[in-house]
Amino acid sequence: MRLEKVKGIISLLAFSLLLTFIGVGGALFNEGPIKKLKKYGIEIPEDATLTVDKIIYDRTRGRDVRFIEYKVPSPDERSITIKLDTSTDELLFYSDGPRMEKQVRISVEEAKEKALEFIKRVTELPKELKLTKAELLHQKLGLLPGGGVLYDYWEYWFEWSRLINGIEVKNEYIRVIVAPSSGDVIAYVKHWTGEQPRNTEVKISKEQAVELGREYLIERRRALIEAILKAEYSELVVKRFSSAAVEWGYAPEGLWLCWEVKFTYTELPEGLEFLKWSIVYVQATTGEVLFVNEPK
C-alpha cells in the first residue's frame, strides 16, 4: 500500500515536471524571436501567438531569410510579419498593420522623425541617399456595393532611395510607414545592398543612348520598321534587373550604370497594338543594350 502511494506521488511529480517543461519550452520558442526584435524597438503583444519561424528563400533579395509571423487575436486581430538576415539578424522587413487609423494627429515632419528614429535603430544609413517619398496617403480598399469601401484609413509613407555618385539606384530603397494617430512605425522594408556598379564611366551621352536604343529596336523588330518611335525620356540610372530576367538570360546580373530610354509607338501594324511602349537600358560606358522592358 505504501509502495503504491509512493509510485503515485512520483507519477504526479513527473506529470507536473512535464507540464512545466512544455510551458517553458513554449515560452522559449516564443521568446527567442521576441528578444531579437526588442533591440529594434518592436513590441509584440503578450497575447500574440508565434505561428511561423523558418528559413525561406526570398526571390526579391536572391538569398535565404528568416521568416517570422505572429497572430494577434481579436479585438485587434492582425498578423505581424518579420524577415531577418540569416547571418546577422538585421531587420529586412517588418509589417504590423494596417492599423485602420482615421485620425491624423501628427504632422508629416513629426512622422518623418519617427521613421528616421526607427531606421537608426535597425540599420546604418548610408551617406548617399535621397528622400523620394514623404506623403500622407488616404487608403481606400475593398469596393463594396453602393460605392462604399471595406477599409478606409490614413498612413504616412516615407521612402529613401540609394544614390551612387548622385545617381539614383533603381529599386534599392528603405521604406517606412507610420500610423498618423499613434505615431507607431507599422511597416519597414529594406531593399538595399552595398554592391557597386560593374561599370562606372559615362561615355555615352543621352542623345547617343536614344539613337542606340532606337537602332536596336528597329533591328530587333523588323515588323515595326514602318512604325514611328518617339523617345519619351532618357534618364541616367543605376539599375539592377529582375531576378527572373537574369535567370532566363534576358539581362545581366549586378548593378549597371545605364541610360533608361522610354519609347512609345504609333501606327503599329495589326496584331501588335498591345506593344505601346518599350524601355531600353543602354550601358553608359560601352553603349551595349543590356535589357528591353516591354508590355507582355
- In the chain, where the domains are located: 29-191, 206-293
User: For domain 206-293, is the CATH number 3.30.70?
Assistant: no
Q: What is the 3-state secondary structure of 27-41?
A: HHHHHHHHHHHHCCC
Q: Quote the mean pLDDT of the chain.
A: 85
Q: Identify residue 189 by its one-letter amino acid code.
A: V
Q: What is the pLDDT of residues 8-38, one digit of tens each?
A: 544 544 444 444 433 433 333 445 566 778 8
Q: Is the dihedral of CA 86, 87, 89, 91 positive or negative?
A: negative
pLDDT in tens, 246-296: 999 999 999 999 999 999 887 777 767 777 899 999 999 999 999 999 887
- Name all contacts of 3-8 with Cβ < 8 Å and 24+ positions apart: none
What are the mean pLDDT values of the chain's consecutive 10-residue runs (296 residues total)?
Answer: 50 45 40 72 89 92 90 88 91 87 92 95 87 92 74 91 93 94 94 90 97 88 69 96 93 97 82 82 98 90
